[in-house]
Structure formats: C-alpha cells, structure tokens
Amino acid sequence: MSEVDLVDFAVDYAQRKGAAYAEARYEQHASEAFVLKNGVVDVLEYGDDAGIGVRVLAGGSLGFSCTNTLTRAEVRAVVDDAVRTAKATKRKDPIKFVPEPAVVSNWSVPEARKLQDVPAEDKIEEFQHIDRELMDMKYKMPARMFISTNLRIVKYFGNSEGSRIRSYSPRVRMHYYLTLMKGNDAEQCYRNYGWSGGWEAMREWNTLENVLEEARTCQNGLEHGVKSPEGRMDLVVGPPVAGIMAHESCGHPTEADRVLGREASQAGKSFITPQSLGQRVGSDVVTVVDDPTVEHAIAYYLYDDEGVRARRRYLYKAGIINEFLQNRETAAATKSRSNGASRATNYDREAIVRMANTFVEPGDWTPEEMISEVKRGVYMKTYMEWNIDDKRFNGKYVGREAYLIEDGEVQGPVRKTIVELTTPMVWGSVDACGNDLDIMEAGFCGKSDPGQALDACLGGPTMRLRNVYLR
Amino acid sequence: MEEHAERIVKEAVKQGAKDAVAEITVDRSYQVRFARNQPVIVNQWRRSVGSVFLAVGKHLVAGEITNFDRIPETIANLLKAAKATPENPDYAGLAKGPFKYARPSVDRKVLAIDDGSDYVEAAVNGAVEEGAKECAGSFWRYNEDHYLETSNGASGRDQRAGLYLSIRALVSLESSGHGVACATKLSEFDPDRAGHKAGRIAALAKNPKGGTPGKYDIVFDPLILGSLIDQVGGRASAYTVMAGLSPFLKKLGKTVAAPSVTIADDATTDSLGRCRFDAEGVPIRRKAIVQNGVLKTYLHNTSTAKKFKTRSTGNAGIIAPEPFVLSLKPGDWTRDELFNEVKDGLWLTNTWYTRYQSYVTGDFSTIPRDGIFRIKKGEVVEAWKDVRLTDNLINVWKSVKGISKKPEQVTWWGEVGVPTFAPYALASKIGITKSAM
C-alpha cells in the first residue's frame, strides 16, 4: 500500500474501532549531515526515516502510536494500540478539540538550488573553504566545528474530518563553534542559521563573510576587550539577542499548553495565566509575533500537524499580552480557536503546541540612530550563554560581541556583558526597534517528553532598552 | 533482526567496505504523560531501525536502513557517498573482536506492563498526600532490543528494559518539587516514594521569597547533583575535548575536583542505562573519569584512543564517545550531617538550562527549579525563588566538602540525560545571582 492508502486506512479503521476523532501522519525525513571539525570531516551521515503516527481521541482521552513498518497489518496494530490505550485511560474531564474545517491541500517550499542536486562533496568543499580562510587569518584558533544538516520532509496528513494535506519542506541548517585563544584567555562563539529552501541558503546567509567576521570580532575581544561596565545604563541589542529574547521571554510563556500546565513537569509552566490576556508586559513599541508563513524562515509551514491553516500570531501586541499559541486541544480548554501552532518533530511524536518563526516586529529606526541617542551604554550584538527559568520570568543573556557606547558613539569591545533581567523588565525597557529585521538566526527549540528538538527561527531587529542594570 | 545486522555487514564487505557496523534497534516502549493529576496521552512505539557505519579506507559514511528488503541498494548508495567524502585521518578502525558478553536479562514482569495508570495514580496520590495541588510528569516502560554486528568480529544482542517515573508536584506556580523513580525490576519500582518526595518539597517550598545574590554553601539534592555529574561525563568525551567544548583539555592527571570526588562511568551497573557493548562492540567496563579529584581519563572509542595514545574505554559512539551510566562515589556523611554542616547556605533540589559562556574555561550558569531553601544552622528556615547558580564547573567540583553515603539513581529530561547514581553533596562558596528588577 502507498503511504496515502495507509493514512486513509488508518483514519478509517480508527473510526471503525470507536475513535471519535482520528488522524494519521506519514512523514519521510531524508537527511544529509556532516561535521567539519578542525578541518576534518568526521563522517558523512545519511538518514532515511519514514513512518506513520496515529493519534486518536476515544472515550475522552488521547492515544498515540507509531510504526516505521509500512504495511497494512502494522498500521492496523498501531491503530489498535492507540484506540485501546485511549479507551483504557481514566480521565475526570474528557479532552475536547475545537472544530476545524476539512482541508485538502498540497504545499511545498521552493528550492532555488535543489538540495539533492548539489553533491555532498560540493557542500563539504564550501565548508572546507571557509575553514581554510579561517586558518589563513593566522589567529590562534585551536577548535573549529561546523555542523551542516539538510533535511527534506515529505508529509501526508489525514484526519477523520476529511482533511488530506500533502507537503514537501526542504530545510538547511548550519551551526558552528569557534574557539580563539590568546595565552590562557579564550573567546568562544556559537552561531546557528536556518533556511527553508535549497542550498541557496549558503549564499543568503553570506556564510563565508559572516564566519570570518565572527572570528575577527572574537580576536578583537581577546586583544582589546575590557570588562563590561556595571550599573544602570542603556543597552542596544543586535538581532540575534532580540531573537532569543523573543523566543524565551515571549514565545515560550505564551504557549497555551504551558499556560494550562500540560508541560509542567518538563518544559515548565508560565508566569502568564489564562487571565493575563490584555495585561501589559512591555512598552508600547514592543510587538512580538510568531509567524510560520514567513517565506524561507526555517520553521515555514502552511498547515500545522492538526491540519489547521497557519497564520501570524500577535503574542505581545504594543506591549500587551495579546494571544496564546494554540492547538485544537488547548483552544477547546481556553474557549478559543486554534491558530495552527501544533507541530511534531517526526511521525513518532505527538504534535503539541510549538513556536515557529518568532520575532520582534521591526520599527523604523536604524541601529545608528538608536546608538546616537545613548549617552552611556553597551551595544551587545551577539550572545553566548543564556538561560531562563521554567516560568519564563528570569532570563539571562551574556554578551559575546559587545561594545561600549559613549556619547552616541560605539567605542571598543567589552567582554561578557551580563543581562540578567525579568521578562517585564526586558520588554518594559524597550523604547526603539530597528528596521533591520533578521530571520536567519535559528534554534533547536526543546519541549515535550520524549524531547522534541524542533526547528525555530529566532528573529528580530536591533532593539534599544533604556536604563537597565548590566554587569 | 540478528540476521538483518549480519546481512548488512556481509553485504557491505562484499561491496568493498573495509569496516562495517550494523546495529538494529527494536523499540517497543510505552509511555503515559500526565498533567493536572490525570493522564493526557498514552504513547507507544513500534520501530525497528538499522544504523549502519561504513569505512572505505578512511572515507566514512553512516546511514539508516529501515527497509530491510533493500539492503544491497542502500549499501551501494552509502558506499558511493563514502567514496566522495574526504578521508578522515583521525579514523583508526574498529575494535577487534570477537568479544564475549554477559547474557542479557530483563525482568519479564516489566515487559508485561501494558497499562501504566496505576503507577501514575500512586505517584500523584503520594504527592497530593503531602499537600500538592497539581502534578505532572510521565511514566515509562522502556523495552529495546539491540543487535550489533561488526566486520571486525563483534556480534552481540542486548535487551534493555526498565521503568521510570518522573513527577513534578506543585502547590502553586512558585512552590514545586520533583521526584523520580528508576528501576529495572518491578519489585524495586517505587512511584509512590517519588510522588511523596515531590509533594514534600513542594509543600516545604510554599511562599518563597526572592533570594539574595552571594556565595553560599550549598547542599545539592541527587537530582541537581546528577546534572553536575552529567556535565562531567559529557565534557569528558574525547570528542568534546577535541571540539573545544570541554574544560578538561590538558587536564589529564590534574586536580579537577575535591579529593573526595570519584566519578565513574559504568554501564555494567544494574540501571536504566545498563548495556553490554558499545557501538563498536567493545564490552562495557567500569572506568573512573575522576578519581579522588584527579582527572584520570577521557572517554574513548578506538579512533579517539589512538589520537590520545591510549586504548578505548568502551564508550563508542563510532565518532563521538559518550558516557552510559555515571556515578559519584558515595562518601561517609549522612544527609543530616551534610545539612548540619551548613551554618548559612542553601539546599537546591533540581535545576535546568545549564549553559556555558566558555566551554574551555567551564564558566556556566544553571537555573535551580522546584524547591530552593535557605538553611541556617542545619535547618531549613525559608524557601527562595528566582535565583541562578553562576560559577565554574571545575570550581564547583573542587568546592565539594562532603558526600552522603547513599546514592539514588536519577535521570531527568534534558539535564540528567545519562542514568546517574547521585548521593547528596555539600559544596562551599558557590555563586548565586538573580535578575535585576
């Protein structure tokens, strides 16, 4: 049987077994990856994983089962498992899904340079070239590691309401670590880029020049960096920093399943409650959105893994908590509508509420204009260490590339600027957003149990925070 | 499945591979996730995956085989790809077999479990009895078969099965506790105890106040200590050292912890991580990573061992060696004695989000979660919230003053990825920071 027939069979059979709702998701993930470590390709890795996951709502409970043996008998067994375990589950209050219209669609992401048309040796050579250029800089660089991953995802989704959605989503990812040393002093950087599309990603990322510039700034920090000033002052952050703040301090706390406690044990809860909608969390220049439909951002999609049409979600709007990320289950629980935020990493995981491409909406300032109005402060372009508590209230971002600002001018590099602020302090201090939105920065967003590290875009423009405590 | 592993290796050698490894994993695991005191979904897996590693000279390729009807075609494609990759001069071949392994044994009662609801209920009830209002977590019945075959004579089967329950109990958003239960035998599985522990910590953590930054003596509960042990295990992989992602570079033979600290990797121990062979088929053995405070070895496979002029520790990952089951050697303190030693300090029960500013120096921070308690003269005097542990990995381990006698097996989402035997430990003058308001 083809995957289409197997999905159709699974959905039909689940209903005959008594499921009130059933969905089946076939996914095929073809991947190609390699690590270039200190100039050596460790191993070229190919993944070819395909299977079907079936989720049912039966007796008011959810059951999920999956297989990568694509036969009718195996799919039947998976459906039997899912329906049996759902029916056997005892819940006080039944799980409900909000209604959604049936959708029949077929979408795909265009590739200017198709991933499978670019030989692996050519891809490797591009990174080896970058590595050679790095070595030609003659810096003391004892460790360099580039990780290149291409993924082509074919998906076919069907549910008992009649939705049938096919998609093709190619994704390119590059992340790297550089270690530079001067005597016993070390400067390390980590950058992570993502792209939905083909191998044109390397050009779009301006990869070579960006990597070399990263190395230059590390070396500059080692040679000329001084301790970052301590005290209250202004802070101008670059797009990667605005992006991680948007992800950690807005995207995560507005996930409805987190708000409702479904992820409480692992990914945690949220300082935001269902009653927080309409409350102020930031200044009126702060609008943070999550938008799966941004072309070529790493987490691009048109329909989520429950067959719901994706759209831009205004999570914080002009400083107000405006909207949660919702799937059909959380929408029913909060008397809302799904906004198409349900995603899984592969066929072998349940789909849950996830961010996609989360970013601070740009304003109309140039970075230079923002900096020119700062009497004394820090311009923190990138970061290295970061973390945030499980209620998403206490975040920390430590500068990697950062500079002192005095009298509106960028001065020399400062090292390890520590921004350790509460979420309302971060967003409440923003008085200007730049016109330089960048959506190339990517992350591996962790959530769920078993863990689902999912592609996420961490985007933003340059952003200015007034009078915050730095050290 | 054994025959699939054998067929893959034979086919690879026939088609020109110098080295070949095939490992078939059959996963039949089962999980109940729960939240707000009741199940939210039951997950089941029926997956069979073949992992393949091939070397043509020093050209290396790895792949997956899920369709065992297409082994020759898949091997041909992988070998073609291998020939197009640059040589890896660090590759030094596979361990030479054959090897003898202990016979796999699992508790049949564990394998027979197909309904986890009673265990979830026991844990939730335990927490609620202690005062918890809301509980979330997961129950797992793991069941995996592994079949390994290498072109260098290793051939083995392993069966890995166990039970795991993780519960977070909340009295309120900022008053929570966490407990875990790990066992390979049903008779030793105690979800009720995990629930009570989570609930007890949550109840004790009521009405927390914002903490004060400074240097504190800290009693680490096994769950957070497991995270710090996990950091040592992961950073001790020779691969992370070479990649610049470890503070242990050039530290072999040097002091990296207090004299009382011995951290070992030993997957022969009865635990959720127990296994019989590594990815090259080398039989698992115990090795001290840190012994009496001194870094004794990195974790190696055949290739990294050759690079460091030593021998494999039986920790392959073909490319990146890894720990399997970690432990901190118990000390001679009781838990109460550790607390009594603290005149003015903290008791941390759990953490997450451990991140480094510099891997090579070990400067990091991590965010304590669940119960955070101020201790004065050995007694808990108040609960705290909103603080961060900010220090250096080696400094933390050098600051250990005492370790309790009784370790617990812990593993936890993200932070304690490797099953770990962790007791309580006391460390002095550890950095605590907090957010500016």
Q: Would you give the end-to-end CA distance of chain A in angstroms? A: 62
**Cβ(A161)–Cβ(A134) below 8 Å:** no
Taking the C-alpha atoms of residue B358 and residue A188, their distance in angstroms, rounded to an integer, is 6
Interface contact B364, partner A, CB < 8 A: yes
Query: What would the two tokens of residue B390 be?
Result: 């900010």
User: What is the least distance, in Å, from the CA of A342 to any CA of chain B?
Assistant: 15
Q: Which residues contact A362 (CB under 8 A, 6 or more apart)?
A: A433, A434, A435, A436, A437, A461
Query: What would the two tokens of residue A7 be?
Result: 């999905």
Cβ–Cβ gap B35/A265 under 8 Å: yes
Interface contact B92, partner A, CB < 8 A: no
Identify the H or E element spanning B157. Answer: strand B155-172
Backbone angles phi, psi at A78, to 5 degrees: -65, -45
Cβ–Cβ gap B88/A186 under 8 Å: no
For residue B74, the chain A residue with the least C-alpha distance is A48
Q: Where are the beta strands (DSSP E) in A38-163?
A: 40-58, 61-67, 104-108, 143-159
Q: Which residues contact B125 (CB under 8 A, 6 or more apart)?
A: B192, B195
Query: What would the two tokens of residue A383 be?
Result: 């970061």
Of A119, A179, A387, the CB nearest to B365: A387
Cβ–Cβ gap B44/A64 under 8 Å: yes
Of B42, B78, B244, the CB nearest to A89: B42
Query: What would the two tokens of residue B174 be?
Result: 């900022």
Query: What would the two tokens of residue A265 be?
Result: 């044990």
Burial profile B130-162: b = 16 or more Cβ within 10 angstroms, e = fewer: bbbbbbbbbbbbbbbbbbbbbbbebbbbbbbbb
User: What is the least distance, in Å, from the CA of A425 to any CA of chain B?
Assistant: 6
Interface contact B393, partner A, CB < 8 A: no
Backbone angles phi, psi at A344, to 5 degrees: -130, 155
Which chain A residues are closer than 8 Å to B66 by Cβ?
A: 48-51, 68
Taking the C-alpha atoms of residue A77 and residue A469, their distance in angstroms, rounded to an integer, is 58
User: What is the least distance, in Å, from the CA of B164 to any CA of chain A?
Assistant: 12
Interface contact B73, partner A, CB < 8 A: no
- Summarised one tens digit per residue, pLDDT across range A151-178 is 999 999 999 999 999 999 999 999 999 9
Which chain B residues are closer than 8 Å to A45 by Cβ?
A: 61-63
Angle at B320 between CA B314 and CA B321, to 5 degrees: 25
**C-alpha distances in Å from residue B334, one per residue of A286, A459, B231:** 52, 50, 25
Q: Measuring CA to CA, which residue among B324, B27, B337, B371 is closest to residue B172?
A: B371
Of A391, A420, A422, the CB nearest to B173: A391
Cβ–Cβ gap A385/B363 under 8 Å: yes
Q: Is A93 helix (H, G, I), strand (E, B) or coil?
A: coil
Which chain A residues are closer than 8 Å to B84 by Cβ?
A: 44, 119-121
Q: What is the pLDDT of residue A438?
A: 96
Which chain B residues are closer than 8 Å to A177 by Cβ?
A: 243-245, 359
Burial profile A17-27: b = 16 or more Cβ within 10 angstroms, e = fewer: bebbbbbbbbb
pTM above 0.90, yes or no: yes
Query: What would the two tokens of residue B173 be?
Result: 């958003």
Interface contact B42, partner A, CB < 8 A: yes
Interface contact B4, partner A, CB < 8 A: no
Cβ–Cβ gap B63/A45 under 8 Å: yes
Query: What would the two tokens of residue B82 be?
Result: 């291998």
Backbone angles phi, psi at A269, to 5 degrees: -110, -150
Domains along chain A?
3-224 (3.30.2290.10), 227-470 (no CATH)
Q: Fold for domain B2-119+132-169?
A: PmbA/TldD fold (3.30.2290)
Q: 């915050």: which residue's tokens? A: A468
Taking the C-alpha atoms of residue B229 and residue B394, their distance in angstroms, rounded to an integer, is 11
- Mutation for testing the B interface, residue in A265, A275, A384 having most B CBs under 10 Å: A265
Taking the C-alpha atoms of residue A78 and residue A65, their distance in angstroms, rounded to an integer, is 5
For residue A145, the chain B residue with the least C-alpha distance is B243
Kindly calculate the radius of gyration of chain A based on its CA atoms and give it in whole angstroms.
Answer: 23
Handedness of CA A236, A239, A243, A246 (dihedral sign): positive
Boundaries of CATH 3.30.2290.10 in chain B?
2-119+132-169
User: What is the least distance, in Å, from the CA of B178 to any CA of chain A?
Assistant: 8
Of B31, B48, B244, the CB nearest to A177: B244
Q: Measuring CA to CA, which residue among B280, B53, B51, B46 is closest to residue B156?
A: B280
Which chain A residues are closer than 8 Å to B358 by Cβ?
A: 186-188, 384
Number of Cβ within 10 Å of residue B395's Cβ equals 17
SS3 labels along A281-307: CCCCCCCEEECCCCCCCCCCCCECCCC
Of B53, B357, B435, the CB nearest to A385: B357
B5: which strand partners?
A: none
User: What is the least distance, in Å, from the CA of A50 to any CA of chain B?
Assistant: 8
Taking the C-alpha atoms of residue B260 and residue B338, their distance in angstroms, rounded to an integer, is 14
Which chain A residues are closer than 8 Å to B367 by Cβ?
A: 387-390, 394
Q: What is the pLDDT of residue A303?
A: 98
Taking the C-alpha atoms of residue B99 and residue A49, their distance in angstroms, rounded to an integer, is 31
**C-alpha distances in Å from residue A251, one per residue of A245, A248, A310, A339, A430:** 9, 6, 16, 14, 17
Number of Cβ within 10 Å of residue A471's Cβ equals 14
Q: What is the pLDDT of residue B146?
A: 96
A-to-B residue pairs, Cβ atoms closer than 8 angstroms: 255
Q: What is the pLDDT along chain B (437 residues), one digit of tens a residue?
A: 778 999 999 999 999 999 999 999 999 999 999 999 999 999 999 999 999 999 999 999 999 998 888 999 999 999 999 988 999 999 999 999 999 998 888 999 999 999 999 999 999 999 999 999 999 999 999 999 999 999 999 999 999 999 999 999 999 999 999 999 999 999 999 999 999 999 999 999 999 999 999 999 999 999 999 999 999 999 999 999 999 999 999 999 999 999 999 999 999 999 999 999 999 999 999 999 999 999 999 999 999 999 999 999 999 999 999 999 999 999 999 999 999 999 999 999 999 999 999 999 999 999 999 999 999 999 999 999 999 999 999 999 999 999 999 999 999 998 999 999 999 999 999 999 999 87
Which residues of chain A fall below pLDDT 70? none
The DSSP symbol for B237 reads B
Q: Measuring CA to CA, which residue among A209, A213, A174, A246 is closest to residue A440?
A: A174
Q: Is A28 helix (H, G, I), strand (E, B) or coil?
A: strand
Backbone angles phi, psi at B144, to 5 degrees: -130, 135
Which chain A residues are closer than 8 Å to B38 by Cβ?
A: 90-93
Cβ–Cβ gap A41/B356 under 8 Å: no
Which chain B residues are closer than 8 Å to A121 by Cβ?
A: 84-85
For residue A60, the chain B residue with the least C-alpha distance is B40
- Summarised one tens digit per residue, pLDDT across range A1-20 is 899 999 999 999 999 999 99
